[in-house]
Structure 1
């Protein structure tokens, strides 16, 4: 498993050279959200696909 620093280094290597600070910030934000989601799943705090569909169907009235 990579450290946070290694993940950021990899992220920066993959971005175009003309990326703005805003672009970099956005990609860091998305990376953090993905990591939080992965931690939630690992800690079994997530919901199943069926549960998600049920929750959304109440909102979307499908």
Structure 2
């Protein structure tokens, strides 16, 4: 994910990234966001998760 974010910034600075696969907790999602160095939002950083309900319940 770090390599993907760094490459996106170098190649086309306004391109976003989507991280998916194996994200099981709110803590993991936040770690990925922090490591990306990108602001959250659909145009810059997105997560593909199948455990949305579980992650959201941990966030609240």
Q: Which of the five TM-score ranges fits, normalised by the shorter chain? A: 0.3 to 0.5
- Choose 1 or 2 for highest CA Rg: 1
- Pick 1 or 2: higher relative contact order, CA cutoff 8 A, min separation 6: 2
Which structure has the highest strand share of the two? 2
Which structure has the highest helix share of the two? 1
Question: Please, what TM-score do these two structures have when normalized by structure 1?
Answer: 0.31
Question: Please, what TM-score do these two structures have when normalized by structure 2?
Answer: 0.32
